[in-house]
């Protein structure tokens, strides 16, 4: 009974730490910001406008309702890009706490991903508003599909962030490589173009990109109320894989954090 109480207290302590770190990130993000939440929505909408002008009005890509197509892809992508882009320096930004207090350090990147996940969830009504305004009907399957994709995308983003944030403490070049990686992956992911435009012989490459699978499923969910089962299963496999690798690397190297930082 005593052991169970200790485990319960430890779990409660970890939950409290996650909440504290997440709240801290939210307060820092909106500190002295008058518009606050608006900026989280404005960023992908502005990018959607830029891509719409460039690729619909000038290049004239053959995609129907291109503005909605962009919105459904850019919001999930922003969550990934924001979390992964901030992950290399997340431990350095909390170095003083890491050196002074003994707690599970993986809570710090976890709070980072949760912070961006909250912003994405709060942006979902904006996506739905675009969908309904464009003449699409609401789907009951949203209530099932949205939590499924949020959980899957959370796993893969947290796994990648844990890998990058841990390794960057020992290999500082990873910070710059991460920026390059995000930029390359953006163009390799069907954010502003459709997967249907990719030649069939190159489709296997698309399936090696977890974010491509998620973005395709997000669009299918919002616009058609469906999920591709094969893409969903494969993306969850990637999520478990990256999460497992991230936990393994963190456990191997976390004991050296305080001395290196």
Alpha helices (H) in 103-141, listed in sequence order: 107-133
- Between CA 182 and CA 81 the distance in angstroms is 7
Contact 40, 122 (CB under 8 A): yes
Q: What is the chain's mean pLDDT, rounded?
A: 87
- Between CA 227 and CA 224 the distance in angstroms is 9
> In terms of Cα–Cα distance, which of 44, 15, 16 is closest to 122?
44
Contact 64, 138 (CB under 8 A): no
pLDDT at 191: 93
- Between CA 111 and CA 87 the distance in angstroms is 11
Half-sphere exposure of 149 (CA within 13 A, CB side): 32
pLDDT at 51: 85
Separation of CA 46 from chain center: 19
> In terms of Cα–Cα distance, which of 252, 83, 229 is closest to 166?
252
| Domain extent at residue 211 | 2-260
Across residues 173-187, what is the average pLDDT? 94
- pLDDT band for 13, please (50, 70, 90 cuts): low
pLDDT at 18: 73
Across residues 17-38, what is the average pLDDT? 64
pLDDT at 94: 83
- pLDDT band for 31, please (50, 70, 90 cuts): low
Among 40-49, 65-74, 83-92, the least confident range: 40-49
- pLDDT band for 27, please (50, 70, 90 cuts): low
- Between CA 182 and CA 77 the distance in angstroms is 10
Across residues 153-158, what is the average pLDDT? 97
Q: CA-based Rg of the chain, rounded to a whole angstrom?
A: 20
- pLDDT band for 145, please (50, 70, 90 cuts): very high
- pLDDT band for 187, please (50, 70, 90 cuts): very high
As for how many domains the chain has, the answer is 1
pLDDT at 30: 58
Looking at per-residue confidence, does 70 or 56 come out higher? 70
pLDDT at 217: 97
pTM to 2 decimal places: 0.89
Q: pLDDT tens digit string along 104-143?
A: 889 999 999 998 999 899 899 999 999 999 988 999 999 9
């Amino acid at each position: 009974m005593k052991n169970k109480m200790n485990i319960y207290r430890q779990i409660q302590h970890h939950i409290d730490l996650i909440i504290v770190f997440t709240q801290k990130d939210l307060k820092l993000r909106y500190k002295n910001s008058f518009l606050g939440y608006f900026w989280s929505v404005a960023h992908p909408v502005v990018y959607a406008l830029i891509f719409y002008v460039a690729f619909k009005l000038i290049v004239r890509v053959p995609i129907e309702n291109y503005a909605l197509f962009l919105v459904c892809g850019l919001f999930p992508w922003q969550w990934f890009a924001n979390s992964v882009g901030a992950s290399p320096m997340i431990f350095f930004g909390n170095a003083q706490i890491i050196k002074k207090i003994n707690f599970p350090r993986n809570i710090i990147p976890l709070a980072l991903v949760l912070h961006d996940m909250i912003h994405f969830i709060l942006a979902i009504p904006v996506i739905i508003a675009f969908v309904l305004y464009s003449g699409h009907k609401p789907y009951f399957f949203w209530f099932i599909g949205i939590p499924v994709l949020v959980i899957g995308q959370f796993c893969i983003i947290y796994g990648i962030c844990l890998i990058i944030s841990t390794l960057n403490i020992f290999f500082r070049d990873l910070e710059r490589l991460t920026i390059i990686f995000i930029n390359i992956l953006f163009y390799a992911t069907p954010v502003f173009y459709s997967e249907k435009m990719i030649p069939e012989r190159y489709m296997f490459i698309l399936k090696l990109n977890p974010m491509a699978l998620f973005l395709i499923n997000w669009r299918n969910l919002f616009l058609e109320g469906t999920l591709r089962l094969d893409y969903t299963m494969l993306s969850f496999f990637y999520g478990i894989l990256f999460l497992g690798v991230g936990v393994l690397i963190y456990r191997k190297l976390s004991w050296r954090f305080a001395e290196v930082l």
